[in-house]
Chains A and B, each alone.
Chain A
Amino acid sequence: MWLFSRFIARRLAGERLRSAVTALGVALGVAVVVAIRLANVSSVRGFEQALETMAGATSLEIVGSAEGFDERRLVALTWLGELGRLSPVIEGEAMYAPRGIAGSASEGDDRAAIEGGRRRASAGEMLRVVGIDILRDRPFREYALRSSGREGEGPSAREFLDLLRDPRAIILTAKFAGRHGLSNGGRVDLAIGDRVEVFTVAGLLDDVGPARALDGGIALMDIAAAQVAFGKLGRLDRLDVRLDEPEQVDAAEQLIASRLPEGLTVQRPSRRGRQVEQMLAAFHHNLAALSYIALIVGLFMVYNTVATSVVARRSEIGTLRALGVSRGRVLRLFLGEALVLALPASVVGVLLGRVLAVGAVALTSGTVSTLYVATGSAPPALDWTHWVLGLLVGVPLSLAAAAQPALEASRVSPTAALRGADRLETRFRLRRRFLVAPLALAALGAWLATRPASGNVPIAGYAAAVVFVFAAAFLVPAVLFAMARAGRRALGFRRGSPVPGSPAPAHRFFFVEGWLANASLSGAIPRLSISIAALAVSLAMMAAIAIMIGSFRETVVYWVGQTLTADLFVGPSSRSGGARQATISEEVERTIAAHEAVEVIDRVRQIPVPYGDSQAYLLAGDFTSLVARGQQLFKDPRDGKAAIRATLGEDVVVVSEAFSIRHGRGVGDDISLATPSGRARFRIVAVYFDYSSDRGVIAIDRAVFARHFGEARPTGLNVYLREGADAMAVRRALLDTLGASHRVFIYTNAGLRGEVLRIFDRTFAITYALELIAVVVAILGVAATLLTLILEREHEFAVLRLVGADRRQVRRMVVWEALMMGAVSQSVGLVVGVVLSLVLIYVINVQSFGWTIQFHMPWWFLTQMTLVILTATALAGLYPARLAARRAAPIREE
């Protein structure tokens, strides 16, 4: 310990800045991992917690199809009453829509209205409305009705029912009411589907039981009122079962499963949570994988720090060894250095992670809500698991990163001290292993890239990416060597021999400082390789992701351009707030159909359905219209329309590519779906390209849908206008007519394309943010490396000053060095980035999301990125440069 405090701690303290930068790198890496963990957990846990609090004492639930089940089937389920209590439930989504912000939909131009529509949607908080029969529900859930008049036990079921019996009565949470200034007995306007309905606040719930869920975004209605409000007359979403003997849940589940009639399923309430988890798994895995990049970069920094510390102190180590310090002790000394850096860094990283999580949640919750499931928007509090995670990824990995240089330190022989200052290192030579290792790794990566996914997690794909990253890292020394040579040549020094009278063209640009920088970089290749590799790796990732996203975006743009053919798209505004089941009312449909410019309306119903252990979308549309007007791009068979035309009216479906890949079902296969009247089988006749949802879409003809699932309102309308009609004008006219009574959004074709891309860009905002952090960490690494080099090269600077270099020249030389490191990193990064992007596009993406993406180079972005990186690295060199210039006095002779 004494030795450690003298030998390592003093040095770390002495080089405070460099230690701090390294620790910051690790801290950021840990922080990003923790932040993404928190953000991922928040979306799933938010849903699960809501589920849990809302499930109350429910042991099991009986569910039917995505459209619920016919309530008359309950009569045949009376036997369930022998096992426990039963409570039927209707769930619906409503959007808080106070008067006063209605009607603005018709103002302004198209673009502004789209924006306006979005603003309203975000201003209007979503409410999850639970329709219950309070007479049955009491044993299930606890409701603390505020000032119910009775002390202690709260209102009886009977009193509760009286509050709710009015079809307009709704009970809100006190939290929600407080948030929006609503009071008991007052009115509250809610948008359900596209209608705004006025309810009376019949009571307020204190923060107990289900009222705790979703930050109070919960409302209670009577089951009868809820059936009407949500258009579910005659249907139930589920039947909750509270077993008399809750501990016998396994046996009861089996018993019920064996006795339930066709089309009904018994499950634990947590199953819905697992489905959501499954559904989000790919999204989360990708974020988690990305979050580790910053950490890897941080670990490179630890390696670098310890390695330079070892190299710089060879003679000291030799002295220690000569004085009888054992190899093990030397090893521990340098591992200790890593520990001293990593431990506080990890702690700071966990705390920082919590801060970053707020941003990560902000960036992801929009995506999760838009694409997957409405969820809370606050990250959960840190608990011990996050500390464990932070310390487990931070500390042991840092030690592992330090292991190699520490081992090297332990191998320093005692005679190293006697050889004196071996400043003149052996010059770097290109050895075969510098090419063999990366080539072998690249081959391994290529092989891994062809492995199939395990489950829906592309483990092999991630492994391939990691292997390519390491290949890139190992390739860096060779690249640096090549660059040093090329640089020298470009600067006019061919094999060291001058060419009289012919200055190299590059010279005028680089000046002598650039040439010196190049020379000194080539003299420090082993040392520089690590930090350049770290930067190159993070830049490769960035480039890869940019290429992937760019390609994806181009593909989506193409797909949208091909397939969005209707002139107007109508949907209930509450959908933009996350309501999955919001429907278009008949009035709205009639109003639109009545407009003179409207030629055809395609009614579309898209609802989430459980499929396997996950969820998919069931899309009911008019296949006749699809055959006539649709522009879907089919994957299999190419002429999907013909296949559809040939099977019109049959029990067939068309599935999206994502569905096909995710569930391994192709043309000719059967899929089984739960319908309100039991399970039904449908044959897949075509697979089409679709980028709207990674969970997959099952498209079915409306008539077939109605036959199996019953009639149901559409969730959207695709409107085709007559030749020559002005879509914008029609849209405005329709919004004027629908006015304040309805809440719909209407996109023109162009508007919807814009919206699609907006959602697309928002989805990937987090990806860029993560990458940016990794790059920042890497640039910090470059700065740290430069600092180290400068401290070691004071003598060299002194010589330069001696032979006539002024401070400015020293400064410039260091900036050039930084810039060159950036340039090498970026070049390696770009090349490896392309390789990685191929892995991302053709392996990982296909395996986790099931999308075919056309490769596309985002040249403009890559150019910008290159400029930014060069600037950033040059800037990162500024401080070290200044330090070098300041320190470089022209004498230093021992």
Chain B
Amino acid sequence: MTILEVERVEKTYPGGEAPVAAVRGVSLSVAAGELVALMGPSGCGKSTLLHVCGAMDTPTRGRVAIEGRDLSSLDDGALTRVRRERVGFVFQFFNLLPTLTVAENIALPLLLSGGSPGEALERAAALANRVGLGHRQRHYPQQLSGGEMQRTAIARAVVHRPALLIADEPTGNLDSASGARVLDLLRDVHEETGIALLMATHAPDVARIASRVVHMRDGLIERIDAGVAV
């Protein structure tokens, strides 16, 4: 089952002298249970592509569909609903709310969707345990290490059982040990839930857990390698 479908997507930002084309026509699809890694040098358009895929941004041209729903036909409210129900995000800089505890950060998507706090926190607690932060759930983000923060972010990204998990350089800001642990966690979550995972990364060893590795350069897909995990 195809979770994410990208067809000839272009994304152009209005620039100074000439518009900057970050993505210049990319087609890609991710099926349930797939883990697709996006690789490429800085400025190759990975992040832009991720934003477009995650319903955070709209493409200039082309079509993006999540679980068959064409995002281009949706307004801001509907996009928000797609994000909060069907997509989860993990970023390089964790993006936790500093005023909320670990458990609260994890529960946030459920709460924003109108879920009952009891259930939300219950699930958040379970996930915190799952990502190895059961003892940390009452702590605030600034009391955590980078790896712990990223694990919290991962828990938050999947708390609402999304179909698609988008991760943008999830290990980019971590030391290698923590990075490895985060990658392992991502893989485990992916395997346990069967969630479709699209991840941009520089880490070469990511390939070892990916179904496919998409190499990008200058806004275009350069080549696609089959991953080890297949």
Contacts and interface: CB of A to CB of B under 8 A. Distances in A.
Interface in A783-824: 796, 798-807, 809
B226 interface: no
Contacts of B176: none
Contact of B137 (A425, A497, A803): A497
A219 to B, nearest CB: 74
B107 to A, nearest CB: 8
Given A496-B103, A497-B103, A501-B119, A804 B138 contact: no
Contact of B118 (A427, A499, A512, A802): A499
A894 B47 CA distance: 11
Interface in B106-127: 107-109, 111-114, 116-122, 124-125
Contacts of A497: 103, 125, 137-138
Task: Kindly name the residue among A424, A802, A803, A891 whose own CB sees the greatest number of chain B CB atoms within 10 A.
Answer: A803
A498 B168 contact: no
Interface string A488-505: 000111011111111110
B112 A512 contact: yes
Nearest to B57: A891
A497 to B, nearest CB: 6
A840 B54 CA distance: 62
Interface residues of A, number: 42
Interface string A35-70: 000000000000000000000000000000000000
Nearest to A502: B118
Report whether over half of chain B's contact residues are helix, strand or loop; otherwise say mixed: helix
B97 interface: yes
Contacts of A247: none
Given A496-B103, A496-B138, A804 B84 contact: yes
B118 A501 contact: yes
A515 interface: yes
B142 interface: yes
B215 interface: no
Contact of B101 (A491, A496, A501, A504): A496
Contacts of A499: 118, 121
Contacts of B91: 893
Contacts of B93: 893-894
Nearest to A803: B109
A330 B98 CA distance: 29
B156 interface: yes
Interface in B57-108: 57, 76-77, 80-81, 83-85, 89, 91-93, 95-101, 103-104, 107-108
Given A426-B142, A807-B76, A498 B117 contact: yes
Contact of B140 (A427, A504, A512, A516): A427
B24 to A, nearest CB: 20
A427 B91 CA distance: 23
Contacts of B122: 498, 500-501
Contacts of A520: 97, 99
B181 interface: no
B83 to A, nearest CB: 5
B83 A802 contact: yes
A894 B169 CA distance: 12
A481 to B, nearest CB: 13
A801 B99 contact: no
Interface in B135-157: 137-142, 156
Contacts of B77: 806-807
B142 A427 contact: yes
A519 B116 contact: no
Given A803-B156, A891-B57, A515 B118 contact: no
A803 B116 contact: no
B93 to A, nearest CB: 7
B118 A498 contact: yes
B83 A424 contact: no
Interface in A475-534: 491-493, 495-504, 507, 512, 515-516, 519-520, 522-523
Given A498-B125, A805-B80, A492 B97 contact: no
The 9 A-B pairs with the shortest beta carbon distances in the complex, nearest first, are A804-B84, A498-B121, A496-B138, A523-B99, A519-B99, A806-B80, A424-B142, A496-B101, A512-B111
Interface of B: 47, 51, 56-57, 76-77, 80-81, 83-85, 89, 91-93, 95-101, 103-104, 107-109, 111-114, 116-122, 124-125, 137-142, 156, 160, 168
29 contacts: A425-B98, A427-B142, A492-B121, A496-B104, A497-B103, A498-B107, A498-B117, A498-B118, A498-B121, A498-B124, A499-B121, A500-B119, A500-B121, A519-B97, A523-B98, A799-B96, A800-B97, A800-B108, A802-B95, A803-B83, A803-B84, A803-B108, A807-B76, A890-B83, A891-B51, A891-B57, A893-B47, A893-B93, A893-B95
Interface of A: 423-427, 491-493, 495-504, 507, 512, 515-516, 519-520, 522-523, 796, 798-807, 809, 890-891, 893-894
Given A501-B118, A800-B97, 12 more contacts: A492-B121, A493-B104, A496-B139, A498-B118, A500-B119, A515-B111, A804-B112, A805-B80, A806-B76, A890-B83, A893-B47, A893-B93
